[in-house]
Chains A and B, each alone.
Chain A
Amino acid sequence: MKASWLKAIVITTVVLLGLSMAQKLTFWHYWDGANGQVLQGLIERYQKEHPGVTIEAVFVPGGELLTKLQTAITAKQTPIMAISDLVAMPLLTQSGSLAPLDDFIRQSNLNLADYFPGPLVYGMYQGKRYSLPVSASDLGLFWNKNLFRQAGLDPNRPPRNWDELLRYAKQIKEKTGKWGIELFTQGGEGTTWQTQVYFWGAGAEFLNANNTAPAFNSPQGVRALQFLVDLAQKDKVAPIAPWGLFGRGEAAMVMDGSWMTQFFPQQVNFELGSAPFPYPAGGRPATNMGGEQIFIFQNADAATAKAAWDFINWFSSTPVQVEWDRGTGFLPVRRSVANDPAYRAWVSNARPLMRPFVDSMAFARPRPPVARYPQISDIFAKYVQEALLGRLSPKDALERAAQEVAPLLR
Chain B
Amino acid sequence: MNGVRLQPTSTAVHRGWRRTLGELPSALLFLLPTVAVLGTFNFYPALYSLYLSLFEWNGLSPHREFVGLANYTRLLASGEFWNSLRVTLLYAGGVTLLALALGLLVAVLLNQPIRGQALYRVLYFLPVITPTVASGVVWKYLFDPTQGVVNRGLAEVGLEGPSWLSDPSWALVAVIVVGVWKRVGFNMVVYLAALQGIPKTYYEAAQLDGADSWQQFRHITLPLLAPTTFFLVVTALIDAFQVFDLVYVMTSGGPLGSTDVLGYYLYRQGFRYSELGFASAVAYVMFALIFLVTVIQFRLTRGGQDDA
Contacts and interface: CB of A to CB of B under 8 A. Distances in A.
A374 B275 CA distance: 11
A70 B254 contact: no
A16 B146 CA distance: 65
Nearest to B163: A241
B90 to A, nearest CB: 19
Contact of B274 (A91, A240, A389): A91
B166 A94 contact: no
Interface in A63-82: 67, 69-70, 73-74
Nearest to B268: A378
A95 B163 CA distance: 43
A261 interface: no
A389 B166 CA distance: 10
A371 B58 contact: yes
A242 B60 contact: no
Contacts of A187: 252, 254-256
Given A91-B274, A242-B166, A374-B272, A385 B254 contact: yes
B273 A94 contact: no
Contacts of A389: 168, 255-256
Contacts of B145: 241-242
A185 interface: yes
Nearest to A69: B60
A6 to B, nearest CB: 42
Interface in A366-389: 371-372, 374-375, 378, 382, 385-386, 389
A73 B60 contact: yes
A241 B166 contact: yes
A385 B146 contact: no
B60 A67 contact: no
B271 A188 contact: no
Contacts of A69: 60
B149 to A, nearest CB: 14
B60 A94 contact: yes
B256 A95 contact: no
A186 B272 contact: no
Interface in B123-170: 140, 144-147, 163, 165-166, 168
Contact of A91 (B60, B163, B166, B268): B60
A96 B273 CA distance: 19
Interface in A240-284: 240-242, 248, 250
B60 A241 contact: no
A375 B273 contact: yes
B273 A372 contact: yes
Interface residues of A, number: 30
A73 to B, nearest CB: 6
A233 to B, nearest CB: 14
B77 to A, nearest CB: 12
Given A241-B166, A378-B268, A186 B62 contact: no
A240 B163 contact: yes
A250 B61 contact: no
B59 interface: yes
Contacts of A242: 140, 144-145, 165-166
Contacts of A186: 166, 252, 254-255
A8 to B, nearest CB: 37
Nearest to A71: B59
A195 B60 CA distance: 30
B273 A385 contact: no
A94 B166 CA distance: 37
A250 B272 CA distance: 33
Contact of B272 (A73, A92, A248, A378): A378
Contacts of B223: none
Given A242-B145, A389-B168, A67 B252 contact: no
A70 B166 contact: no
Interface in B49-66: 58-62
Nearest to A67: B271
Contacts of A70: 59-60, 274
Interface in A81-105: 91-92, 94-97
Contacts of A241: 145-146, 163, 166
Contacts of B273: 372, 374-375
B273 to A, nearest CB: 4
Nearest to A92: B60
Given A91-B58, A96-B61, A386 B256 contact: yes
Nearest to B256: A385
B257 interface: yes
Contacts of A91: 58, 60, 274
Given A92-B60, A250-B146, A382 B257 contact: yes
Contacts of A248: 147
Contacts of A185: 166, 255
A188 B254 contact: yes
Contacts of A74: 59-60
A386 B255 CA distance: 9
Contacts of B271: 67
A186 B254 CA distance: 7
Contacts of B165: 242
Interface string A184-198: 011110000000000
A378 B80 CA distance: 12
A188 B60 contact: no
B49 to A, nearest CB: 14
29 contacts: A70-B59, A74-B60, A91-B60, A95-B62, A96-B61, A97-B62, A185-B255, A186-B166, A186-B252, A186-B254, A187-B252, A187-B254, A187-B255, A187-B256, A188-B252, A188-B254, A240-B166, A241-B145, A241-B166, A242-B144, A250-B146, A374-B272, A374-B273, A375-B272, A382-B256, A382-B257, A385-B256, A389-B168, A389-B255
Interface of A: 67, 69-70, 73-74, 91-92, 94-97, 185-188, 239-242, 248, 250, 371-372, 374-375, 378, 382, 385-386, 389
The 10 closest A-B pairs by CB, nearest first: A95-B60, A187-B254, A375-B273, A70-B59, A374-B272, A96-B62, A240-B166, A241-B145, A91-B60, A385-B256
Given A67-B271, A385-B254, 17 more contacts: A69-B60, A70-B60, A91-B58, A91-B274, A92-B60, A185-B166, A186-B166, A186-B252, A187-B255, A188-B252, A188-B254, A240-B163, A240-B166, A242-B166, A378-B272, A389-B168, A389-B256
